[in-house]
Amino acid sequence: MEETLRILVVDDDEVDRMKVRRALTQAGVCMELSEVGDGNDALSALRNSTYDCVFLDYRLPDQDGLTLIQKLRSSEIKVPLVVLTSQGDEQIAVELMKAGATDYLSKSRVCSETLAQVLRHAIRVHRAEMQTALVNQQLRETNEQLIRKNQELESQRQQIQLQNFKLLEASRLKSQFLATMSHELRTPMNAIIGFSQILLRPKFGQLTHQQTDMVERILNNGKHLLMLLNEVLDFSKLEGGRLELKPELFDLTKVINIAVAEMRSLAEAKKLSLLVQTDLQNPLVFNDSVRVRQILVNLLSNAIKFTESGRIWVEVKEISKNRIAIAVRDTGIGIAPRDFKHIFEAFRQVDQSITRKYPGTGLGLAIIDSLVRMMGGKIILESQLGVGSMFKIEIPRQLSLPTANDNGSTFHMDGHEIVCSAQNPHQSPFHFSKVSMGFPNLKL
């Protein structure tokens, strides 16, 4: 059904109004037509009622069309406006359009066809303008919302940043506390260990069997506590970036044999066989021997701790000329794949309960992980629950040093020739700062 248009004709000339009415009727426009004779009546009609289009005579008795259009616009009355101009008014058309008229038409051209066409066009233009204004308004609102959201996000970001600073500071204080406490506790612990060892020496004096047993327990517990303290101290140093590797040239086979010998009694106490298989054409490496030993002792102590029966074996191989793999395998309880990632995080253990069967700080693997990274190596873990685990570390035979300005000196050790060369890949700035001054980069 065609919509009924509400049309207002504003003209003081009765004949002209009739011409418009007739033309629209002839054009078959379905409408409700109202007519007024001057500007003030037009204003009150438009204030009190809504219209789909207004045909406005430019020359009204009380005001001209331009003044009326300006009044309508300042009253926020939005309606399609077609100004009907007389002969000679064409000059003013541009002004009318600028002021807000939708269209204009010379009275001499008023006929059914033209008027219907102008009417349709004016309504279409007006609706498009309204639509655009609505979209613009929505865009403005969305923009304001976005600005508000942005401000909220910015203030949240600032809060998070502040929290971050606080967390970092808390973490720094925690590390400092750990470092200070473990350092302070180490001194009396060393005294306890030292004096227990003196008490156990035969030349110090004969102890009863019971006394010997008690002193041995003090010594063993002291050593265990010292090991825990050292772990905490190492961890806090690693966290604060204060741990430095001190590379030196050493025989890897010897270091491995020493570490295994250290752990053998623990394995034997649990009736586990402990095997070592070393397959190195060249056993010389340039690395931190203390840290390599520490990594192996830690892996072995875990293997022994988490294995109830069976065996543990260490395999050492050359993967390539400058890369060595040390693997520690066990037939222990194994690790579920979902825990693979977590166990390398500090203080994380598969069993986090306080009633857990296996003691420990949960720092061992985190320390190993950091050390191996510092060495430019990687850890490979293979494990199956109830079957066993394999922790394999792959490290370069020769640690890279930060200042490689050396032009190829040659060293000799145990009959092996060691060529120094300049190469320095990815390395943290704090690594090896102690040795970088004195020891050149070695290629073994």
CA nearest 243: which of 398, 439, 430?
430
Task: Please name the residues in contact with 148: beta carbons below 8 A apart, sequence gap of 6 or more.
Answer: none
> What's the rounded Cα separation, in Å, for the pair 330 and 343?
17
60, 267, 365, 393: residue in contact with ligand ADP (rule CB under 6 A): 365
By CB under 6 A, is residue 436 in contact with ligand ADP? Answer: no
Angstrom CA distances, 339 to 25, 236, 291, 335, 384, stand at: 86, 24, 25, 7, 11
Q: Output the smallest distance, CB 293 to ligand ADP, in A.
A: 16
By CB under 6 A, is residue 371 in contact with ligand ADP? Answer: no
> What's the rounded Cα separation, in Å, for the pair 307 and 315?
18
Instruction: Pull the structure tokens for residue 317.
Output: 């191989």
Q: Output the smallest distance, CB 377 to ligand ADP, in A.
A: 17
- Using CB under 6 A as the binding criterion, the count of chain residues that bind ligand ADP stands at 18
Instruction: Pull the structure tokens for residue 62.
Output: 């009380």
By CB under 6 A, is residue 362 in contact with ligand ADP? Answer: yes
By CB under 6 A, is residue 361 in contact with ligand ADP? Answer: yes
> What's the rounded Cα separation, in Å, for the pair 205 and 199?
8
Q: Output the smallest distance, CB 244 to ligand ADP, in A.
A: 22
Q: Output the smallest distance, CB 352 to ligand ADP, in A.
A: 9
Q: Which is nearer to ligand ADP, 80 or 388 (CB)?
A: 388
Q: Output the smallest distance, CB 332 to ligand ADP, in A.
A: 5
By CB under 6 A, is residue 333 in contact with ligand ADP? Answer: yes
Half-sphere exposure at residue 33, Cβ-oriented, CA atoms within 13 angstroms: 16
> What's the rounded Cα separation, in Å, for the pair 327 and 350?
21
Q: Which is nearer to ligand ADP, 36 or 238 (CB)?
A: 238
By CB under 6 A, is residue 331 in contact with ligand ADP? Answer: no
**Cβ burial, residue 142 (10 Å; 0-12/13-18/19+):** exposed
Q: Which is nearer to ligand ADP, 305 or 317 (CB)?
A: 305
By CB under 6 A, is residue 332 in contact with ligand ADP? Answer: yes
Q: Output the smallest distance, CB 178 to ligand ADP, in A.
A: 15
By CB under 6 A, is residue 229 in contact with ligand ADP? Answer: no
Q: In the β-sheet with 311-320, what is the strand arrangement from edge to edge?
A: 273-279, 311-320, 323-330, 388-396, 378-384
By CB under 6 A, is residue 369 in contact with ligand ADP? Answer: no
> What's the rounded Cα separation, in Å, for the pair 232 and 364?
9
Q: Among the candidate windows 25-33, 38-46, 151-159, 364-372, which touches ligand ADP by CB under 6 A?
A: 364-372
102, 196, 349, 370: residue in contact with ligand ADP (rule CB under 6 A): 349
By CB under 6 A, is residue 239 in contact with ligand ADP? Answer: no
By CB under 6 A, is residue 335 in contact with ligand ADP? Answer: yes
Q: In the β-sheet with 410-413, what is the strand arrangement from edge to edge?
A: 410-413, 416-420, 442-443
Q: Output the smallest distance, CB 302 to ligand ADP, in A.
A: 4
Q: Output the smallest distance, CB 337 to ligand ADP, in A.
A: 13
Buried b (16+ CB within 10 A) or exposed e, 198-214: ebeeeeeeeeeeeeeee
> What's the rounded Cα separation, in Å, for the pair 191 and 202?
19
Q: Note the maximum CA span of the chain.
A: 141
Owner of token pair 């040659």: 410
Q: Among the candidate windows 2-10, 16-24, 214-222, 327-335, which touches ligand ADP by CB under 6 A?
A: 327-335
By CB under 6 A, is residue 306 in contact with ligand ADP? Answer: yes
Q: Among the candidate windows 61-69, 102-110, 207-215, 325-333, which touches ligand ADP by CB under 6 A?
A: 325-333
Q: Which is nearer to ligand ADP, 77 or 350 (CB)?
A: 350
Instruction: Give the x/- contact pattern for ligand ADP in 377-396, rule: CB under 6 A.
Output: ------------x-------
Contact residues for ligand ADP, defined by CB under 6 A: 302-303, 306, 330, 332-333, 335, 343, 349-350, 360-366, 389
